Homo-oligomer: A and B are copies of this chain.
């Protein structure tokens, strides 16, 4: 039996993970589950999976969690330090699926124990890739990607030496605004932005997909995870979201990973790695789909990919600043205070301003410095947003 902890158990990835664990109760056991304010969902999951411990990030929710777990065998705990301690409990695999910079700590703590990490938390690599990778390397912890694109690259690379890889190509659906002209894009509403054509995801990541900011994060993650030079990573718009990534070799051969858009594939792949086990996902039927289409991303309407390339060139704290700024820009957009295209402007202004901060170019090798830059970048991004909203 493989013993699993899930950090971010009540979110989209966490719930999909629990769905898969619940279908193979003989193969998997649950150690720790963590969540936020959705105590009912957290407690229900802990009961259903007989978790050792359930942790809410919010101390003020501890009483509710204790009440909801009354009579079960699951311990209740609360607060960021309790989450970090849960990450240190012995487990075979920790699913790092907390959204945002808060997901950094449990991933690092679990990796430091040598626990295999199934990594869905993009920020771990974008903000602090070198730190997480060095921590994992030192402890002998394996990191498995859970993002569909990175799982696709990982699977497409199987058996091949990175030395023979000429290019890695990740795909982007292009989101709901792929065909929108620039002037209409500027007036796009949050309700329009969350209507992702293919993937069922939370609101925040759906907006990030619509702006290609999510793909910008993927690009940075790809560089960190696989150690591929930025100029050898390409992004291809592919509206059907069937081909998730392609690995192009020096001999002209290209290995691609395809599948219907369903996060349970990438999650289940990580849970069962290095084996493959049957998963309840739809089977690919290309004759029914008929056509897969591809186009280059438009760098004018969607500047996020250019910003990602600037972040990769700058390194240091640029990833942490990019992530913090896009989070604040997203808050402002979702709250109706800035327009859709203003988000990239906020990120760009924040990157430009933060580049002058002492330590910006230093490697993200300590959590404290990453969190300091995250904090400062959020303030600067909020200033940039206010200035744009007032202008």
- Residues of chain A having any CB pair with chain B under 8 Å: 155-156, 158-161, 164, 166, 169, 236-238, 243, 246, 248-260, 262, 265, 268-269, 272, 275-279, 281-284, 286-287, 289-296
Q: Which residue of B lies closest to A287 (CB)?
A: B296
Q: By the criterion CB–CB under 8 Å, are B279 and A252 in contact? A: yes
A163 smallest CB distance to B (angstroms) = 9
Q: By the criterion CB–CB under 8 Å, are A258 and B254 in contact? A: yes
Q: By the criterion CB–CB under 8 Å, are A156 and B255 in contact? A: yes
Tell me the bound Cα distance from A252 to B238 in angstroms: 19
Point out the residues of chain B lying under 8 angstroms from A166, CB to CB. 283
Point out the residues of chain B lying under 8 angstroms from A295, CB to CB. 287, 290
A238 smallest CB distance to B (angstroms) = 8
Point out the residues of chain B lying under 8 angstroms from A253, CB to CB. 155, 257-259, 265, 269, 276
A243 smallest CB distance to B (angstroms) = 8
**Given A160-B276, A295-B287, does the pair A259, B252 have CB atoms closer than 8 Å?**
yes
Tell me the bound Cα distance from A246 to B290 in angstroms: 15
Among A166, A246, A265, A287, chain B packs the most CB atoms within 10 A around the CB of: A287
Q: By the criterion CB–CB under 8 Å, are A254 and B287 in contact? A: no
Q: By the criterion CB–CB under 8 Å, are A251 and B236 in contact? A: no
**Which residue of B256, B293, B296 is within 8 Å of A256 (Cβ)?**
B256
Tell me the bound Cα distance from A281 to B237 in angstroms: 24
Point out the residues of chain B lying under 8 angstroms from A237, CB to CB. 287
Tell me the bound Cα distance from A189 to B250 in angstroms: 40
Point out the residues of chain B lying under 8 angstroms from A254, CB to CB. 257-259, 284
Q: By the criterion CB–CB under 8 Å, are A294 and B290 in contact? A: yes
Point out the residues of chain B lying under 8 angstroms from A283, CB to CB. 166, 248, 252
Point out the residues of chain B lying under 8 angstroms from A293, CB to CB. 290-292
A298 smallest CB distance to B (angstroms) = 11
Tell me the bound Cα distance from A237 to B155 in angstroms: 25
Tell me the bound Cα distance from A257 to B268 in angstroms: 23
Point out the residues of chain B lying under 8 angstroms from A278, CB to CB. 250-251
Q: By the criterion CB–CB under 8 Å, are B251 and A262 in contact? A: no
**Given A286-B294, A291-B291, does the pair A250, B276 have CB atoms closer than 8 Å?**
yes
Point out the residues of chain B lying under 8 angstroms from A294, CB to CB. 286-287, 289-292
Among A252, A290, A292, chain B packs the most CB atoms within 10 A around the CB of: A252
Point out the residues of chain B lying under 8 angstroms from A290, CB to CB. 293-295
A294 smallest CB distance to B (angstroms) = 4
Q: A243-B256, A248-B283, A252-B281 are in contact. List 8 more A-B contacts (CB 8 A).
A: A155-B255, A251-B276, A252-B265, A252-B282, A252-B283, A252-B284, A287-B295, A290-B294
Tell me the bound Cα distance from A236 to B166 in angstroms: 28
Q: By the criterion CB–CB under 8 Å, are B251 and A281 in contact? A: yes
Point out the residues of chain B lying under 8 angstroms from A164, CB to CB. 275-276
Point out the residues of chain B lying under 8 angstroms from A249, CB to CB. 276
Tell me the bound Cα distance from A290 to B296 in angstroms: 9
Q: By the criterion CB–CB under 8 Å, are B284 and A248 in contact? A: yes
Tell me the bound Cα distance from A158 to B11 in angstroms: 34
Point out the residues of chain B lying under 8 angstroms from A161, CB to CB. 275-276
**Given A164-B275, A252-B281, does the pair A246, B269 have CB atoms closer than 8 Å?**
no
Tell me the bound Cα distance from A56 to B291 in angstroms: 47
A149 smallest CB distance to B (angstroms) = 13
Point out the residues of chain B lying under 8 angstroms from A292, CB to CB. 291-294
Q: Which residue of B lies closest to A166 (CB)?
A: B283
Point out the residues of chain B lying under 8 angstroms from A248, CB to CB. 283-284
**Which residue of B158, B246, B272, B282 is within 8 Å of A159 (Cβ)?**
B158
